[in-house]
Structure 1
Amino acid sequence: MFGFSCSKNDKKDSGGCGVGLTKKQQAIADREVELTLLAKSIVREQGWSNLTMDKLTAASAYSKGTIYNHFSSKEDAILALCIHSLKRESALFARAAAFEGSTRERIIAMHVSFSVYARMEPVLSTCPIMAKSPWVLEKASPERVNELNKLEEQIIDEADLLVTNAVQAGDLKFSPGISSDAIVFANWSLAFGSNALAQNASNSRCINRIHDPYSLLNNANMLLDGLNWKPLSSEWDYRKTWRRVEQELFHEELEYLESVGR
């Protein structure tokens, strides 16, 4: 469940369970899902640097030649795993985009969704850094790079639509030199950076997530207030919104995280 085992959702998100495939093509697709999830287990347990073709072969029931039929290199396997991770994130983002509330509440819901994913997958949520590393892009297959770029653009388009809706609703006005792309990037970088630091630098005195569970929300509010995105945090209780998003959209995920102590 939630990407921690080989479920139907895992297969779908990783490219398996294709429609209109021959039996042979489906078998190949299913095997690639299986290998991607094995890579996922290695990375979760040992970190990115320990994902190698030899370890992937040892963990699987297949020969090294079969592994190379699916992944042209270790870097190609890393990119396949990043694509899998991004699809899982996208599924959570889709829930957030459909949240019933103001345009700013839906942006807050996007921040909640990424926070939930980062807690579920603290290692895989760092995929953007790995996927954009020159040493990965240079050795990964062009097809895999193109797939990742297209998926990333789809997610950006969805976030851009939220910004456009805010402008149309009168909740947000573009300032000189600040475009929709700039606003999307600012929210993306804030969400990624805040969650990465909350997961990996929690001993810093400026990160007090245990005593202030809304520290990530505080960061988002500072950004959105700076953009004058209505209603401002002085006009609306976004802590209540954050809790409502958790309860209405991510109740099962949060129950799982509580059960494993994350």
Structure 2
Amino acid sequence: MFKFGSEINKNEVEPKKSKKQMAIAERHRELILIAKDIISAEGFHGFTMDKLASASGYSKGTIYNHFASKEDVIVTISCEALKTLAQMYRKAYEFEGLSRDKVVALNVAYRIFSRLEPVLFMCVLTSKTPWVVEKSSAENIEKQNLAEEMLIEIADKFILDAIDGEDLKLAPTASTDALIFANWAVAFGSNALLNNATNSQCIERIKDPYSVLYNVNIVLDGMNWQPLSSRRDYKKVWREVEQTIFADETAYLAQIGR
């Protein structure tokens, strides 16, 4: 199972750190995890640097040595979320199947991520809001942008493979970026509603573990991505992905009742 904050870009070479640098890095990670717990309990607007100092036992001066503001903490958490997603997307890409099967695997990964790490899932969006961006450090905003670009590069592979294999033909007015955005919009909206709007009558009437898949299939069928959902059992593909490459995560979710 993936661990929050454990992903390392394979193209990066970690420079050797001194004991002091290692201690600072460990404290930095500790603060991120504590901040994540506070946000989970009290929400983004309930999170403050005072609460982080109190929960961690470090002085506010020490906290500000790591982060410029509470918004800067949120951007930092978002960076870690994007890296964790990249780790899961790479696993999805390795799934053995057709190009559209791999996109199903991608959406299984995103669904699992949203359920295992609801704070990280929402943090990626929250960190892009103006009230966060304007109070965050330029350095961390740049790190976030680089992490997002890395994620987009991985997503590009799924589409380019489909085009190369002639499972997908781009319309003259379309682009891979447009297709990535369409899939993200549907997947994010579906997962956000399923996770946070449980009292909705619409969601109450569905109660179907494949709700996200239905919505994804509408988008992919609309793109004429072959094979169409009328010709292939993508529920079976979804289950296979859960039972193979994400077996540990799926078992853990069942264990904790999510």
By the TM > 0.5 criterion, same fold? yes
Q: Which residue of 2 aligns with 1:52?
A: 48
CA distance in 1: counterparts of 2:157 and 2:255, whole angstroms: 35
Q: Any stretches of 5+ residues in structure 1 without a counterpart?
A: 3-8
The question of 1:114 aligning with 2:72 is answered: no
Cα 1:209/1:218, change in 2 over 3 Å: farther
Q: Which moved more, 1:80-89 or 1:167-176?
A: 80-89
**CA distance in 1 between partners of 2:35 and 2:155 (Å):** 29
Give the ranges of 4+ consecutive aligned residues of structure 1 lying more than 4 Å apart after TM superposition. none
Asked if 2 retains the 8 angstrom alpha-carbon contact of 1:172 and 1:227, the reply is: yes
Which residue of 119, 131, 147 maps to 2:143? 147
Moved more, 251-260 or 72-81: 251-260
Q: Is the 8 A contact 2:89 2:109 kept in 1?
A: yes
Aligned to 1:231, what secondary structure does the other structure show? coil
1:226, distance to aligned residue in structure 2 (A): 0.5
User: Helix, strand or coil for the counterpart of 1:101?
Assistant: coil
The answer to whether the 8 Å contact 1:166/1:172 transfers is yes
On the 8 A contact 2:36/2:119 being kept in 1, the answer is no
Q: How does 1:177-216 map onto structure 2 within 5 Å?
A: 177-208=173-204, 211-216=207-212
1:1-262 correspondence runs (5 A): 2=2, 9-10=3-4, 12-13=6-7, 19-208=15-204, 211-262=207-258
Give the distance between the partners of 1:34 and 1:61, measured in 2 at CA: 11
Q: Secondary structure at the match of 1:212?
A: coil
Whole-Å separation in 2 of the counterparts to 1:102 and 1:41: 39
Q: Residues of 2 paired with 1:123 and 1:244: CA distance?
A: 27
Q: Give CA deviations for 1:176-218 in whole Å, capped at 9, x if unaligned.
A: 2111110011011111111001111233233258632111100
In the superposition, the TM-score normalised over structure 2's length comes to 0.94
Identity over aligned pairs, percent:
49
Alignment gaps of 5+ in structure 2: none
One-letter amino acid of the structure 2 residue matched with residue 158 of structure 1 = I
For the 8 Å contact 1:14–1:33, the answer to whether it is kept is: no
Query: Which string of whole-angstrom CA distances, capped at 9 and with x for unpartnered residues, describes residues 143-202 of structure 1?
Result: 000000111011111111210110000000001211111001101111111100111123
Mean Cα displacement is larger for which, 83-92 or 61-70?
Answer: 83-92
Q: Secondary structure at the match of 1:164?
A: helix
Letter in 2 for 1:12: S
Count residues with an aligned counterpart: 254
Q: Secondary structure at the match of 2:6?
A: helix
Amino acid in structure 1 at the alignment position of 2:176: S
2:111 counterpart letter in structure 1? S
Equivalent residues of 1:172, 1:230 under 8 A apart: yes
Tell me, what secondary structure is at the counterpart of 1:67?
A: helix
Structure number with the bigger relative contact order (C-alpha 8 A, sep ≥ 6) is 2
SS of the residue 1:48 aligns to: coil
Other structure's SS at 2:201 match: coil
